[in-house]
Amino acid sequence: MTTKTVQHLRQILDQRHIPAMGAVRAETLNQKAPAGFRPMDHFPESQTVLIFAKPLPLSVFLSPPQTKMHSFYTASFHSEYQTMNETVNGLCMILQEAGHLSLPIPSYSPIRFHKGEPHGLVSLKHAAVEAGLGKMGKNTLLIHPTLGNITRLGGLMTTMPWPEDPLGKLPKPCPESCTKCMDACPVGALSPAGIDKTRCMVNCVEHILMPPRIMARLLKWTTAHSRFMTWIMDLLTISLFNSYGISCFRCLTACPHFPGNRI
């Protein structure tokens, strides 16, 4: 039954043009993720987390921006988030019919704040790394060995134990000497220490609710030190991250793993 169910899931993914799937034990993420963002916090019975990756069309990154926003890119990634959510809901029903309760993980929104910064309910990027779908680059984007850094992710938690699939060792994606993404960032949000999410988002997210930079820094500090403000920000971002524009993805296109740089 397990093999038949796995084949059924792969068939659905092929029909939806979702080429990559990986699995990780829920316990692995329970041990590594912060409290409130672990599979056990949302679905204690889960044994496996499945992750799916689908690339965006390369052309949406190459078209010139319209006004301040990359309109084609914005429309494309919102569409793919919806595709992932719909696909994952369907996969959960297939698993349920096979006797395995499963919980879909939102591909993006809603999100929650942790230490003043937004995080997915379960980090799909970190789960994808643990599932062997890729490695995290210096720009904090997932880098898939063949699809590059332009994928969108979906996922689910399930009570189904997944068949063992030994992971091959993926090479480190970023040479120590490479700083192309850091050099490309116009606001210095990237450094060897990681990413300043607030600085990045204020620069690249276009939305009426996005505060100016000086206010965003204050909001980050206040949210990190106040449960009430964390709750308020959780509510605000339900609106903000359901529909927004993007005005910058320079760290993505500057990266050697951007598929457009391989042409």
* pLDDT tens, residue by residue, 192-222: 999 998 889 888 888 776 777 777 778 888 8
Higher per-residue confidence, 242 vs 43: 43
Question: Which one is predicted more confidently, 217 or 182?
Answer: 182
State the maximum Cα–Cα separation within the chain, in Å, rounded to a whole number. Answer: 56
pLDDT (average), residues 88-97: 96
Average pLDDT in the chain: 90
Burial 73-98 (b: 16+ CB within 10 A, else e): bbebbbebbebbbebbeebbeebeeb
E strand or H helix at 248: none
pLDDT of 3 reads 81
Reduced to 3 states (helix: H, G, I; strand: E, B; else coil), residue 193 is coil
| Mean pLDDT in residue range 142-162 | 95
pLDDT average, residue stretch 153-173: 84
Which one, of 245, 96, 235, lies nearest residue 157 by Cα? 96
Q: How many CB atoms lie within 10 A of CB 56?
A: 18
**pLDDT for residue 1:** 52
Cβ neighbours around 221 below 10 Å, total: 13
d(CA 142, CA 14): 21
**Predicted confidence (pLDDT) per residue in 25-44, tens digit:** 999 999 999 999 999 999 99
From the list 224, 184, 174, 230, the residue with the least C-alpha distance to 204 is: 184
* Residue 102 CB-density burial (10 A; 0-12 exposed, 13-18 middle, 19+ buried): buried
pLDDT at 241 over 60: yes
Query: Which tokens is 180 given?
Result: 């192309």
Strand pairing class (142-143; 135-136): antiparallel
CB 147 within 8 A of CB 135: no
Portion of the chain with pLDDT greater than 70, in percent: 94
pLDDT level of residue 88 (50, 70, 90 thresholds): very high
Kindly report the pTM of this predicted structure.
0.90
158 vs 166: CA distance, rounded Å = 19
Helix, strand, coil abundance in the chain, percent, nearest 5: 40, 20, 40
Query: Higher confidence at residue 231 or residue 12?
Result: 12
Amino acid at 262: R
